[in-house]
Chain A
Amino acid sequence: MARPVHDGAQALMFSYRIRLGNVLQAARTSQLRIQAEQHFDEIRLFLDPGGLVAGIGERADRLTTNLGLTPSDLASGAVRAIPLVAWHAEPPLPGAAGGWSGGITLVLPAGTELGVSPGSMPPQPALRLRFPNDTEVEVGGRGATPLARHVMRGMAPVLLDGIPMLALSQPQHASLKLNWTEDMRSAVVNILGIVSPYRRRGQDALYHIMEVIGDRVVGGSSLQVRA
């Protein structure tokens, strides 16, 4: 089993709560950007967008941990040591609203070969897909969900221990369109960070969280994580 890189290193979890928008802000849309000036792979970041993003659960991958996270863990605002995290990822539940929908299953017997046509070019006899074993292929698709309104980059919907979140897959450049209403011009979001003990000492991470309207940065905060 791998050991922490330096003595005393522990797995950590933190939550970072911050208010986005402003009750006096006139703009009805803005963009949340997260940009890492420094990042190390031993941090996994998740965004709890509060009430700003609907429909996360409809097409979210499922990610479970041995922590048994609850919403109160996210809201605590605290930094705390946690056990070494065991991650288990699963695709969305079949038939979930807006998620995977299909019903057709193709059975490809062992030895099946398929020709491949790149673009509109005629089939090239040399390019084949061969299935050495019996294979089942499900044919279906994902329906449109409210998530499409948010034009996400570098983040993906996930149910983390059942809690709808957005996993930051590219914290170097992640963004999300926010839609404000007359009744909601401001909201609190929470960034959950889970830090592996297998990190190098002295390697800090620095994330800039920005609000952008048009091409103008109108708000920001920075989060530094010291290893």
Chain B
Amino acid sequence: MALTTEVSGNLLLIKDPNETLVTTLPNGSHTIDWVAAYNTFRTVFGDDYDFVGFFIDVASGMPNDLGAASYPVFNDITGIGVNPFDNRASYSSAKLRGISWYGQATLSGVVLVQMTELLHELGHYWLAYVNYKDSSGTTQTLLHQDWVWSPGQQNAHWGRWPDKANSSMGYDEAQWIDNGNGTWDRYQRDDTQAVDDAWFGYWSLEQYLMGLVPASATPSNIIQNPNPTVPSVWPPVHSTTGPYTPTPNAAQITVAMVQAEEGVRNPDYMSSQRVFHQGFVIITKSTAAASSNPFVATCEGWRAAHALNFRSKVSGQAMLDTSLLRGNYSDLYVKDNDADTGTGLSSGVFWLSPDLWVRNSQDGGTTNQETIRGQDNFIYVRIRNKGAQPYDNVSVNVYLANFDNRALPGTQFLYPPDWNPAGLIGNISVGTVPTATAGGDGTVVVNVRWPTSQIPPATGWHPCLLCEVIPMETTPSGLQQVWQNKKLAQRNITII
């Protein structure tokens, strides 16, 4: 049987019962024709994705030795330890930056994908390649020391010596703890444990390399030549070993030292890409309908959780849309003002969106009411479709602006940082947004409860509400403002 495809929500299934995508190598191991797999995806969903990830359905009979890895396709960033390269032509893509796959099966043949693994493979687009120059101007590779795994991977991962905080880009999964007396302990984590999987993320140096924070990222320590040496075998999970004494002492590295070796990151955090699209595909031998394949629901859980987890781990500095973009995704919009017709660039007052309002009760009213403290309120959003095709699988996120780190909201919000997960009030799934008619846009009005516990006190504060509609636009992709993106809306009014 030839390859067939099926769309299931925000996943594409490639059904390959005869393993036409699979190649058996001379040593008996397997690989997949990733170019062919990507092009199958692209013919269904277009060339709108920065990254595409493949879940391997081992239980269906696909090879169980593919492991998890990533393959960068394109890089135009300098200062991250990798020279620019461009392999897009072989993928017939003008957008793709990298692919990754997840087929790490247990002995019983069950693929388990941790959030850490999804962060790790995505992180390879920027990480972990850099070295640094020490104060004498000598190149140091200590960020990758000491390496006890496959030698070929050393230059793309952090070693065991650097104190890399909660980085997901190492293999040791251990955390250095500064004892404050010149010695350090190591706390062993394991990303198959839920508590640890939730802990791993991206360290401050990594967030600089990802173009999300300025070069003033926190300095880090390298526990060089520790005494005793770090054991090669993992100690029991959640145990602490040590103390370790670095020799001659812990080396401190700064972003400036990395820049001295690699150059300044370009583009910097002000002009870097902040909105990314990652599509997810299941490669399976099963020809069964998606609804009867339990692996599909499992993958959907990973996909959805990954989008939230990534955004949380970068503190909202970047946004990852993992929804699959139907051809008419750009017909969806929310108005900035009554004159806004969803062209993508509005003008005039944009902070009083008619499509985002507060009600004191869930009464379906369509005018904004002053928020009442001490009780639940409700936030309504109207999603519009200006096209001739309906759109399924839409979701809306509503945020309280700047709730994360300061008591006062502002006027000048930038997406995505101000749409911060710490200020998320709620997420609403929308089944279908209907087509436009002669009478105007097709619309769906949804609401989310704004619990009293999330309504800040009156003194010195007023609510600024922000929302985003997903699927997100592919452009602009850098820091942007509400009026630049048809999928964003704002309501910023105080009533005294």
B496 with A21: CB separation less than 8 A: no
Instruction: Please give, as numbers and ranges, the residues of chain B lying within 8 Å of A21 by CB-CB distance.
Output: 410, 412
Given contacts A76-B460, A78-B459, A226-B495, contact A20 B417 (CB under 8 A): no
Q: How would residues 434 to 469 of chain B score, 1 for a CB under 8 Å from any chain A CB and 0 otherwise? A: 000000000000000000000000111110100000
A220 with B495: CB separation less than 8 A: no
Instruction: Please give, as numbers and ranges, the residues of chain A lying within 8 Å of B347 by CB-CB distance.
Output: 217
A77 with B496: CB separation less than 8 A: no
Per DSSP, chain A at the interface is strand
B493 an interface residue at 8 Å Cβ cutoff? yes
* Shortest Cβ gap from A156 to chain B (Å): 23
- Report the bound CA distance from A193 to B496 in whole Å: 10
Instruction: Please give, as numbers and ranges, the residues of chain A lying within 8 Å of B269 by CB-CB distance.
Output: 24
A222 with B352: CB separation less than 8 A: yes
A18 with B493: CB separation less than 8 A: no
Q: How would residues 345 to 368 of chain B score, 1 for a CB under 8 Å from any chain A CB and 0 otherwise? A: 001111110000000000000000
Given contacts A22-B414, A24-B417, A76-B460, contact A222 B408 (CB under 8 A): no
Q: How many A-B residue pairs have CB under 8 A?
A: 96
Question: Pick the contact of A16 from B410, B412, B496 — CB < 8 Å?
Answer: B496
B199 an interface residue at 8 Å Cβ cutoff? no
A222 with B494: CB separation less than 8 A: yes
Question: Pick the contact of B350 from A14, A188, A193, A217 — CB < 8 Å?
Answer: A217
Q: How would residues 456 to 490 of chain B score, 1 for a CB under 8 Å from any chain A CB and 0 otherwise? A: 00111110100000000000000101010000000
Instruction: Please give, as numbers and ranges, the residues of chain A lying within 8 Å of B483 by CB-CB distance.
Output: 217-218
Most chain B beta-carbon neighbours within 10 Å: one of A18, A25, A193, A220 = A220
- With an 8 Å Cβ cutoff, the count of chain A residues facing the other chain is 33
Instruction: Please give, as numbers and ranges, the residues of chain A lying within 8 Å of B481 by CB-CB distance.
Output: 218-219
B408 with A17: CB separation less than 8 A: yes
- Name B351's closest neighbour in chain A (CB-CB): A220
- Report the bound CA distance from A14 to B406 in whole Å: 21
Q: A19-B410, A19-B411, A218-B483 are in contact. List 20 more A-B contacts (CB 8 A).
A: A16-B462, A18-B408, A19-B406, A20-B410, A75-B460, A76-B459, A76-B460, A210-B411, A217-B347, A217-B349, A218-B481, A220-B492, A221-B409, A221-B411, A221-B464, A221-B492, A221-B494, A223-B493, A224-B494, A225-B496
User: Which positions in A face B, CB cutoff 8 Å?
Assistant: 14, 16-22, 24-26, 75-79, 186, 188, 193, 208-211, 217-226
